[in-house]
Amino acid sequence: MNLNATILAQILIFGLVIWVTMKFLWPEITGTIQERARKIAEGLAAAERGQKDLQAAEARVEELVKAARERALAMEHQAQARANQIVEAAKQSAQSEAARLLEAAQAQVALETQKARDELRRQVAVLAVSGAEKIIGREIDARTHAQLLDQLAAGI
Amino acid sequence: MAAEAAQGPATVTEYIQHHLTNWTWQFGQNPFWTLDLDSLFWSALMSLLFVAAFAVALRTSKRDIDKPPTGFRKYAEGVVTMVDNNVKDSMHVAGPLIAPLAITIFCLVLFMNAVDLFPVDWWSTVVAERGAGLEHFKSVATTDPNITFGMAITVFLLVQYFSFKMKGAAGYGKEFLFHPFNHWALIPFNILLNLVEQVARPVSLALRLFGNMYAGELVMILIGLFALTQGWPVHIGAAALWVLQFVLGFLWGAFHVIIVLLQAFIFMMLTIVYLSMAHQHDEH
């Protein structure tokens, strides 16, 4: 083990290599590696963002579909209600019409009855007069006995 | 091994000596002024390899920034991320130098250590001696204490520089005088303690790496001795020694992969720790 000037030469060589590495090589390669790491990180972030966007879009689509479905359902209900309403109204108008017709018919019947009754009364009065004439054997003045006849007719 | 034995009998001592001697060049009167050319060659080569590999990885990273990393780039970016994480985990304050320093240390030590995984005779004997005519050529630069001390001293200097820069001369001086014992009577003791601590760091850094790699290399050389004096496996005993050498060499080599990695990692982690301590203000 003999130490000699080789130490000095080695210090020179070593120092030179250190200098070259520090000055030119190391900053460049760490810069490059960092740059790539940054790019990879960016790519990952972009992918994540895309994923998030996709999820958001899917959620929005689902929301829209849900809303549309709800609206369709509401419309259906509304239509149902409206139909019911129409049917109900028709039913009501038909019923009232029927009632009205019935009433009219009843009124007609009552009128006819009244008419027939009046007619009958009048005939009864005539019959009564003619009957009485036959009984009495003379003519009865209808005008003088009108009051009596009317009372008779009303009594029937 | 085989080639050597075939050429001529090499004694065990010669073989070991041959593998442990550097290719040197003395350029001054004092023997200190000597350069271990082989260690410096490998150090420089691995530095170039590191810078080139880093540059290639960087270019690929930049070009294919939108693609996932594949192949070589994946390993390069993996190492960068590993170092970056280790630095961030142990640093409270982020300095501009610590991470690049850490990755330089890790890769350079790893590359220089990894030469140990070549067959022990390949570079020294086959390539250098037979091929280039060099008598001595050690291939694992981290088995040369000059290299490990060179790196440890560089780290030491950087630690001192950042200690001054982050804490200021007054702050660093105060820490030196009143740390760990905050009493004026213990100032001399504190100075002594801190001096020992500061000096022990580069020494332990350098010697730990050197010791581990040197021992590993030595075991490789010793395993290489099995068939050294046997020549071609013409009889059963020699063949058995060849097989034994191969098996042991494989096992030790496989185990050595861990040491190669671990030592590089330890050197890096300790450097990070020392530098993060230099950035910290004392907490008492």
CB spacing of A17 vs B51 below 8 angstroms:
yes
Residue B108: per-residue pLDDT: 93
What is the pLDDT, as a whole number, of residue B251?
93
pLDDT value at residue A16: 93
B interface mutation test: which of A1, A21, A22 has the most B CBs within 10 A?
Answer: A21
Catalytic residue positions of B, numbered: 204, 208, 212
Size of interface A-B (CB pairs under 8 A): 120
CA distances to A61, B97, B194 from B110, in Å = 61, 20, 31
In Å, how far is B35's CA from the nearest CA of chain A? 5
Predicted confidence at residue B8, as pLDDT, reads 47
pLDDT of res. B284: 46
A2 part of a folded domain: no
CB contact under 8 Å between B35 and A4, yes or no, is: yes
Range of the domain at B75: 2-171+201-279
Inter-chain touch B103–A28, beta carbons under 8 Å: no
If we measure between CA atoms, which residue out of B206, B103, B67, B162 comes closest to residue A28? B103
In a domain, B255, yes or no: yes
Chain A residues in contact with B146 (beta carbon < 8 A): 3-4, 6-7, 10
Task: Assess whether pLDDT exceeds 80 at residue A30.
Answer: yes
pLDDT number for residue A59:
95
Q: Is residue A118 part of a domain?
A: yes
Give mean pLDDT, residues A114-134.
85
Mean pLDDT of A21-36: 86
Q: What is the pLDDT of residues A70-123, one digit of tens each?
A: 999 999 999 999 999 999 999 999 999 999 999 999 999 999 999 998 888 888
Q: Which of B214, B24, B237, B57 is nearest to B137 (CA)?
A: B24
B177 in a structural domain:
no
Residue A84 lies in a domain: yes
- Separation of alpha carbons B138 and B126, rounded Å: 12
Total domains in the fold of chain B: 1
The stretches in chain B having pLDDT less than 70 are 1-10, 92-95, 231, 281-284
Instruction: Say what the pLDDT of residue A156 is.
Output: 66
pLDDT for the residue B267:
94
Give the residue among B8, B31, B29, B33 at the shortest CA–CA distance from B18: B8
Contacts of A18 in chain B (CB under 8 A): 97, 100-101, 104, 154
Q: Is residue B118 part of a domain?
A: yes
- Under the banding of pLDDT at 50, 70 and 90, the label for residue A64 is very high
Residues 9-38 of A with CB under 8 A from B: 9-11, 13-18, 20-22, 25-26, 28-30, 32-33, 35-36
Residue B216 maps to a domain: yes
Identify whether B180 is preceded by a cis peptide bond (ω within 30 of 0): yes
Query: Closest partner residue to B66 among A7, A30, A39, by Cβ?
Result: A39
The residue ranking higher by pLDDT, B192 or A2, is: B192
pLDDT value of position B1? 40
Q: Is the pLDDT of residue A58 over 70?
A: yes
Among the partner residues A11, A29, A30, nearest to B154 by beta-carbon distance:
A11
Three-state DSSP class for residue B227: coil
B180 within a domain of the structure (yes/no): no
Q: Is the pTM of this model over 0.80?
A: no
The predicted pLDDT at position B257 comes to: 93
- Give the SS3 label for residue A43: helix
The total number of structural domains that make up chain A: 1
How far apart are the C-alpha atoms of B47 and A16, rounded to whole Å? 9
ipTM for the predicted complex comes to 0.84
Q: What is the mean pLDDT of chain A?
A: 88
Identify from B151, B156, B210 which residue to disrupt to test chain A contact, counting A C-beta atoms within 10 A and taking the largest count: B151
Q: Is A124 contained in some domain?
A: yes
SS3 B1: coil
